Amino acid sequence: MDFGRSADEQAFADEVRAFLRAHPPATFPADGTDAGYGSGAHSRAFLGALGERGWISLSWPREHGGQARPMAYRLVLLEELAAAGAPFGPLPGCLQVADSIIRHGSETLRREILPRVARGEATFWQGYSEPGAGSDLLALETRARLEGEQWILDGRKIWSSHAGVATYGTVLARTDPASGRQRGLTMLMVSNRLPGMEVRPIRSLTGEVYHYEVFMDSVRVPRDWVMGKPGEGFAQLLHGLDTDRFWGRYYKAPFLQRILALLVEYANTTPRDGGVPAGDASVRRRLAHAATEVAALRALFHRAAWLIERGMPATGPVSAAKLMADELGQRVLSLGMELLGPYGVLRAGSRWARLRGEIEHQYQTSWGHTLAGGTSEIQRTTIAVRALDLPAEPRVRG
C-alpha cells in the first residue's frame, strides 16, 4: 500500500503552495459566508485566480478544455487550499456539477457552461430540498412540463447554499405528473437570470446569510438544459449524492488539522495558572485524542477517494466519512470552546477575541453540518441499507 503523493503530485502541491504564498488568501474579497466545511468563504475573485491557472478544469478530459490529470491532483489541490484556509467556497460544487455535465450533460450545456466554470465565472446552487421534502426528498412538489422547446418550471426550493450569489442551479423537478416517488423526476439546469426566478436570503443562526429560498414561477428553461435524460433525475441524484458527500467534505480533515494546530498554539502560548494549558495533562490528552480521530478521518477519506477513483462502490465509506467528519467537527470545535473559556464566545473582530474569532464562527457552522447534505441519521440509514445490506424500514403510505 502507498498513502503518499507521487513526485509529480508533490510538485503540484508545491506549485499550489507557492501560489498561496504569492497571493495570500486574505487578500481576496469574500462575497459569501464561510460555511465552515473547510472550503472557506465564497470568493469569486479567488475562484477566478484558480481558473486562470487552469486548476478548476484540471481533471476534465482534454476535449472539454481540461488537462486530463488524475483525480489525485484534485485531491491535492483541495487539501492544500484547505490547509491554508483559502476562500474556495464554491469550488467543490463547481467540480461536482462540471463532472455531471461532462458525463450526462447535453451538448448545449457543455458548450455554454463548461468554459465559464473553467474560468471561475459560473457557480452553482442545488435545488433539492423543499419545505415539505427534507429527509424525504422524494416527496418534492416542484414540477416542470414540456411546452414546445421549453420546460415550464414551477415550485419552491429551500436551504440552497449560496443561491443568491451563484449563477446557476440544478433543480430536481417532477416532470411526469402521473409518476410517483423515484420515477418521473428530471434534473434541470437553470440560470438565476431567467424571468420568474426569485431568490430570497435566509439568515442563519450565525447572523449571516448562507442559505436561500428559491421561488420558481413559470420559469422557461431550454429543453436541452437537462442533466441526463428526462425522467432519470433520480439516478442523477443518487450518483450525485455519493460524490457530493465526498467532494463536499473531503477537505474537512485538513481543515480540522488546521483548527487543531491553532488550538495547540493557543495551548502552548497562553499564560494560565502560572504555566500554559499545554502543561496540563488533561488538555494534552484531549488534544492528542482529537488528533488521532482527525488522522482516522483523513485515512477514511483516502479510502473513499481510492474507491471513487476506481469506480468501485463507495457509498458506505463515503457516508461514513461524511458522518464522522461532521460529528468529529462538532467535538473538535467544542474542545476549542472549552480551551478558550470565556473568550471562546467573542466574535471575530471583537477587541478581546482569541484566534481571530475563528473558533466562535466554526463552532456555530458545525451545528449545521450534521444536517446538510443528508442528516447524520440519513447517513446511518444509507450505510445500513445500501452498504450493509440490512432491510429498509417499511414506508408508511400517507
Partner 1 sequence: MDLALSPAQQLLQQSARTLLPRRCPPERVQALALDARGFDAELWKEIATLGWPGLLIAPQQGGSGGTVGDVVVLAEELGHACVPSPFIGSAVIATTALSAAGGRRAASLLPRLALGERICALAALEESGRLDPDAMGLRVEAPGRLTGRKLFVADAHAATDVIVLGGGAAGPTAVLLPMDRNGIEAHPLESMTGDKLFELSFRDVETRPDDVLGEPGAGFTLLAPAYRLGALARSAEMVGAAQRVLDLCLAHARVRRQGGRPIGGYQAVQHACADMFRDVESARWLVWESAWKLEAARPDAPAAVAAAKVYAADAALRVARRGHQVMGAIGYCEEHPLHLLHKRILAGSLDAGDATLHLDAVARSIGLS
Q: Is 371 in the site for partner 1 (CB under 8 A)?
A: no
Q: Which of 19, 215, 306, 367 binds partner 1 (CB under 8 A)?
A: 306
Q: Which is nearer to partner 1, 153 or 359 (CB)?
A: 359
Q: Is 4 in the site for partner 1 (CB under 8 A)?
A: yes
Shortest distance, position 278 Cβ to partner 1, whole Å: 5
> Phi and psi of 147, rounded to 5°?
-130, 100
Shortest distance, position 259 Cβ to partner 1, whole Å: 12
**Total Cβ atoms within 10 A of residue 66:** 18
Q: Is 3 in the site for partner 1 (CB under 8 A)?
A: yes
Q: Report whether 137 contacts 91 (CB < 8 A).
A: no
Enclosing H/E stretch for 14? helix 7-22
Q: Which of 179, 288, 341, 347 binds partner 1 (CB under 8 A)?
A: 288
Give the span between the Cα atoms of 170 and 151, in whole angstroms: 14
**Helix, strand or coil, per DSSP, at residue 163:** coil
Residues 48-77, interacting with partner 1 (CB under 8 A): 72
**Total Cβ atoms within 10 A of residue 121:** 15
Cell numbers 467540480 correspond to: 95
| Residue span binding partner 1 (CB under 8 A) among the ranges 58-66, 129-137, 279-287, 340-348 | 279-287
Kindly state the number of chain residues that form the binding site for partner 1, as judged by CB under 8 A. 55
Helices (H), 107-232: 107-119
Shortest distance, position 111 Cβ to partner 1, whole Å: 34
Q: Which of 274, 349, 391, 398 binds partner 1 (CB under 8 A)?
A: 391
Q: Is 11 in the site for partner 1 (CB under 8 A)?
A: no
- Cα dist from 125 to 70, 94, 180, 255, 281, whole Å: 26, 9, 25, 23, 46
Angle at 13 between CA 8 and CA 18, to 5 degrees: 125
- Cα dist from 292 to 5, 302, 339, whole Å: 21, 15, 18
Q: Which three cell numbers stand for residue 389?
A: 445490506
Q: Is 332 in the site for partner 1 (CB under 8 A)?
A: no
Q: Which is nearer to partner 1, 154 or 327 (CB)?
A: 327
Cell numbers 429527509 correspond to: 135
| Residue span binding partner 1 (CB under 8 A) among the ranges 146-154, 187-195, 215-223, 263-271 | 263-271
- Cα dist from 278 to 82, 271, 274, 330, whole Å: 26, 10, 12, 22
Q: Which is nearer to partner 1, 176 or 293 (CB)?
A: 293
Shortest distance, position 226 Cβ to partner 1, whole Å: 34
Shortest distance, position 97 Cβ to partner 1, whole Å: 25
Q: Is 276 in the site for partner 1 (CB under 8 A)?
A: yes
Helices (H), 105-159: 107-119
The amino acid present at 244, given as its one-letter code, is D
Q: Is 2 in the site for partner 1 (CB under 8 A)?
A: yes
Q: Which is nearer to partner 1, 317 or 336 (CB)?
A: 317
Q: Which is nearer to partner 1, 175 or 257 (CB)?
A: 257
| 305-309-310-316 Cα dihedral, nearest 10 degrees | 40
> Phi and psi of 209, rounded to 5°?
-105, 120
Q: Is 314 in the site for partner 1 (CB under 8 A)?
A: no
Q: Which is nearer to partner 1, 227 or 297 (CB)?
A: 297
Q: Which is nearer to partner 1, 195 or 274 (CB)?
A: 274
| Residue span binding partner 1 (CB under 8 A) among the ranges 107-115, 170-178, 233-241, 319-327 | 319-327
Q: Is 292 in the site for partner 1 (CB under 8 A)?
A: yes
Please list, in sequence order, all residues whose beta carbon lies within 8 angstroms of the beta carbon of residue 169, skipping any fewer than 6 positions away: 124, 125, 126, 127, 157, 160, 163, 189, 190, 192, 214
Using CB under 8 A, list all residues that contact partner 1.
Answer: 1-5, 72, 260-261, 264-265, 267-268, 276, 278-279, 284-285, 287-289, 291-293, 295-297, 299-300, 302-303, 305-306, 316-317, 319-321, 323-324, 377, 379-385, 387-394
